[in-house]
Structure 1
Amino acid sequence: MEKIKVHGIKFISIDPITVGQDAPEVVLNDLAGQQHQLSQVTKPLLISVFPDIRTKTCSLQTQRFNVEAAAHQDIEFWSISNNTPEEQANWCAAHGVDMTILADDGSFGEAFGLTMKIGPLVNRLARSIFVIKDGKVVYRQIVTEISDEPDYQAALAAITK
């Protein structure tokens, strides 16, 4: 179990998948409506998860991984939030982001154990990073303070291990 906080106040516990587990099968659509299926990914996959692309920390996280995606063609990057595809597309257009952005319809959050069930961010995804290689979770960071950024370097380093 992981305890998620907002400005230091605990408001929810989640039970996310762990390192060593098989990554659950998920199929999500990108901004163009194209399906992305986890089991079809052949490269190492870095999944950046955040609750709302329109907030400061989520924006910073997505912009940072957009830069990393452009620099690492040997890695597949997915950014996933609960925002609607329209909200995501508007944000991407305003910020020049062209990486794979996926809208969670609830299936990803449930499969990965990241959906917050109560509190001010009910039904939103907990901020987290996963690295998947050969269908297995090899790295996981659950950011326990929702307003903190993830450890970008640790996630990228996990791909080369």
Structure 2
Amino acid sequence: MTNKNITFGGKPVTLKGTQVKIGDKAENFKALKQDLSEFDFYNETEGKIKVISVVPSIDTGVCSLQTQRFNEESTKLSDDVFIVTISVDLPFAQKRFCGAEGIENIKVVSDHKDLDFGDKYGFTIEEFRLLSRGVLVINKDNKIEYVEYLDEVTNHPNYDKALEEIKKLI
């Protein structure tokens, strides 16, 4: 199912699942941590303002910069904010990347195994089995307050708008 016109490198792609919108309840999802243990979204983020930074692969320029930007911004935010970057990269690659880039302030998890997040939130690119790019801001009660699905996957998200929405909830 195509939810909206998304392109990857200028070529149309198909997103699986149903895209979420502001006001929706954020569904729980499972992913893999870098040590291969389970990341349970609800359990890990209970009582927190949640930011989900969605990237296709941390080993590409824009994804790397997006992950670094949220890692840096997290130091300027309240301890009530939990930021997670999710991609379909293998947990081993994520661990290597985080070590090399000093990513210590946010959680980086893998949707590689089941695409649980990607399918539930409408971010799975059917043609490549990658996640599209976007950002979600979710309040402490798991209600979606902000969502951005980028029209062109290789573009940067609107960092300033996402940060503005986060700060409204603090």
TM-score, normalised via structure 2 length: 0.86
- Trace 1:99-110 onto structure 2 (pairs within 5 A): 99-104=106-111, 105=113, 106-110=115-119
Q: Give CA-to-partner distance per residue, 1:105-142, whole Å, 9 cap, x none.
A: 21111111111112xxx110010100111111110000
Contact 2:49/2:82 (8 A) holds in 1: yes
Counterpart of 2:122 in structure 1 is: 113
Counterpart of 1:22 in structure 2 is: 25
SS in 1 for 2:5: strand
Q: Does structure 1 residue 37 correspond to structure 2 residue 43?
A: no
Runs of 4+ in 1 over 4 A off after TM superposition: none
Q: Does structure 1 residue 147 correspond to structure 2 residue 154?
A: yes
Q: Give CA-to-partner distance per residue, 1:7-62, whole Å, 9 cap, x none.
A: 33323345411111111111223223454322232110000000111000000100
Distance 2:120 2:9 in 1: 27
Range with greater deviation from structure 2 (70-79 or 24-33): 24-33
Instruction: Output the aligned Cα RMSD.
Output: 1.5
Deviation, 1:158, is: 1.0
Distance 1:113 1:22 in 2: 14
Counterpart of 2:102 in structure 1 is: 96
SS in 2 for 1:2: coil
Opposite residue 12 of structure 2, the aligned amino acid is K
TM-score, normalised via structure 1 length: 0.90
- How many residue pairs match? The answer is 158
Distance 2:26 2:153 in 1: 23
Q: Does structure 1 residue 54 correspond to structure 2 residue 59?
A: yes
Question: Where do 5+ consecutive residues of structure 2 fail to align?
Answer: none
Question: Where do 5+ consecutive residues of structure 1 fail to align?
Answer: none
Distance 1:157 1:92 in 2: 26
Counterpart of 2:85 in structure 1 is: 79
Contact 1:115/1:125 (8 A) holds in 2: yes
2:13 to 8, 11, 14: 11
